């Protein structure tokens, strides 16, 4: 049985609201690839839940589908997230995919339960922040998100990716490797879309929220093509989300 702890209101029913999120220095993006069918994943999911509280990070949890066959079908799994992990494996020179995996800023990866090693990678990415990185701002205007970018021309046009994620979930797992456990998942990605490419200078994109899954918030990342390093990111929590 799955129990939702998020507010659960439909996006279309949200009141008209205008808000803005921007960062003087772009936060580091931490992407966890996980599955509720993986016995070694709960510690990494608990760690990501802790990381969601940090304003210097954008945290995203993707549930892959290749564990679904062993007795428990993850209700949040999606083949698209498996494809994203596979693309990261290729771009980072990995020989295989694994869970739990954390990818840091699209530039490095580590076992997601190794807190000290992951923190070292986060700090390394913070230390390597580029002075010419683009600025990225999100503005909420009713049921739309307006994305503004500006900055010098990058070496290659950057992919601009919009992601919507849920609030916190609790799931009672009744089968598979985690049978009998209640798992906590945070910032579970429910939708991912490349909304454009950015080649420098001021640019604006508008994303409609109506009809999309993801009641917790959204994030936008500016990423080198081919699942390369992430140059900039921003996230916005939706009103009432946990």
2 domain residue, yes or no: no
5 domain residue, yes or no: no
200 domain residue, yes or no: yes
57 domain residue, yes or no: yes
89 domain residue, yes or no: yes
9 domain residue, yes or no: no
Instruction: Output phi, psi for 69, to 5 deg.
Output: -85, -5
In order, the DSSP letters of 196-231 are EEE-SS-EEEEEE-TT---SSEEEEEEE-TTT--EE
pLDDT per residue over 65-109, tens digit each?
A: 999 999 999 999 999 999 999 999 999 999 999 999 999 999 999
Query: Cα(first)–Cα(last) distance of the chain, in Å?
Result: 20
The model's pTM is 0.90
**Candidate from 90-99, 127-136, 144-153, 211-220 with smallest mean pLDDT:** 127-136
**Domain range enclosing 158:** 16-237
pLDDT per residue over 12-46, tens digit each?
A: 333 333 344 434 479 999 999 999 999 999 999 99
Task: Work out how many domains the chain is built from and give that number.
Answer: 1
- Smallest CA-to-CA distance from 22 within 175, 136, 117 is with 136
CATH number of the domain where residue 197 is located: 3.40.30.10
10 domain residue, yes or no: no
Sorting pLDDT into bands at 50, 70 and 90, what band is 130?
A: confident
70 domain residue, yes or no: yes
- Smallest CA-to-CA distance from 148 within 140, 136, 156 is with 136
């Amino acid at each position: 049985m799955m129990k939702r702890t998020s507010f659960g209101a439909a996006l279309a029913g949200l009141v008209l609201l205008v808000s803005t999120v921007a960062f003087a220095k772009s936060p580091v993006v931490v992407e966890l690839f996980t599955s509720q069918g993986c016995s070694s994943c709960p510690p990494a999911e608990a760690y990501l839940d802790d990381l969601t509280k940090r304003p210097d990070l954008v945290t995203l949890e993707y549930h892959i589908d290749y564990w679904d066959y062993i007795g428990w079908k993850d209700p949040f799994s999606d083949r698209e997230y498996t494809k994203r992990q596979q693309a990261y494996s290729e771009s980072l020179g990995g020989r295989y995919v694994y869970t739990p995996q954390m990818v840091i800023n699209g530039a490095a990866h580590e076992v997601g339960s190794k807190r000290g090693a992951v923190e070292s990678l986060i700090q390394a990415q913070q230390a390597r922040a580029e002075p010419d990185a683009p600025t990225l701002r999100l503005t909420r205007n009713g049921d739309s998100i307006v994305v503004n970018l500006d900055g010098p021309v990058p070496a290659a046009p950057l992919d601009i990716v919009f992601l919507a994620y849920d609030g916190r979930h609790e799931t009672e797992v009744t089968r598979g490797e985690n049978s009998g456990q209640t798992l906590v998942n945070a910032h579970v990605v429910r939708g991912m879309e490349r909304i454009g490419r950015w080649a420098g200078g001021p640019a604006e994109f508008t994303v409609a929220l109506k009809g999309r899954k993801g009641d917790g918030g959204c994030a936008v990342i500016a990423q080198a093509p081919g699942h390369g390093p992430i140059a900039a990111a921003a996230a916005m929590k939706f009103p009432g989300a946990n």
